[in-house]
Structure 1
Amino acid sequence: MGYALAGCFFFFSQALKSIPLGIAYAIWAGLGIVLTAAVSVVIFKQTLDLPAILGILLIIIGVIVMNVFSKTNAH
């Protein structure tokens, strides 16, 4: 598990070379939330109610909007 975490931070640091920190962290956090919810459904057989699904969709839409429309410059 430690190697996976180290690998995640390594690749995150590589992404920061071309993506601004705010956008990179928003993507990191958003993907973490979405993937955690997906794992809970697939592995633990939990169900998501309508507000949870809408929230996940809003996170995905937010990440897309930031990537497509943001004028924030990289380094």
Structure 2
Amino acid sequence: MTPHHRSAWPPLLVAIALEVTATLSLRAAEGFTHPFWLIPVVIGYTGSLWLLSVVLDRGMPVGVAYGIWSAIGVVLTAVLGTALFGETLGTVQIIGVGAIVVGVLLVELGSHPRATSPERAS
């Protein structure tokens, strides 16, 4: 992992937390019948996108950053939706969440170039 990636992780994790908070707040707003919840929606999405731009400025590739941001956001939103709103996840959905996790790991692992030994380089 390069230093750029390490320094990009804190704002990426906060961006994910803000995006999940905004999405869950959107659900809590219940079709705008509870307008108070629109405040964290606007703050969360705005802050999340701003922090995602910070992540990109710190050198994380856009495909990696967006993939991690969106996938972890989906997983956390699905899990927290069940806990907070009583939504259910069926077997196929649970398998899908697992596939997302595996996909994020593969994208992250694939974003690191493999070191070549001196004898292979020649």
- Same fold per superposition (TM over 0.5): yes
Q: Which has the higher helix share?
A: 2
Could you tell me which amino acid in structure 2 is paired with residue 24 of structure 1? A
The answer to which structure, 1 or 2, has the higher relative contact order (CA under 8 A, 6+ apart) is 1
Q: Distance between the aligned counterparts of 1:44 and 1:70, measured in 2?
A: 36
TM-score (norm 2): 0.53
Provide runs of 4+ in structure 1 moved above 6 Å.
none
Q: Which runs of 5+ in 1 are unaligned?
A: none
Pairwise CA distance, 1:71 = 4.7
The aligned residue for residue 50 of structure 2 is 10
Q: Distance between the aligned counterparts of 2:87 and 2:43, measured in 1?
A: 28
Q: Which runs of 5+ in 2 are unaligned?
A: 1-39, 114-122
1:52 to 52, 70, 93: 93
- Give the RMSD, CA atoms, in angstroms: 1.6
Give the count of matched residue pairs: 72
Question: CA 1:3 to 1:46, structure 2 compared with 1: closer, same or farther past 3 Å?
Answer: closer
Percent of aligned positions that are identical: 32
Pairwise CA distance, 1:32 = 2.2
TM-score (norm 1): 0.81
The aligned residue for residue 70 of structure 1 is 111
Q: Distance between the aligned counterparts of 2:110 and 2:61, measured in 1?
A: 14
- Can you list the C-alpha shifts for 1:1-59, whole angstroms capped at 9, x where unaligned? 22222211121011112211111111122122112201211011122111111100110
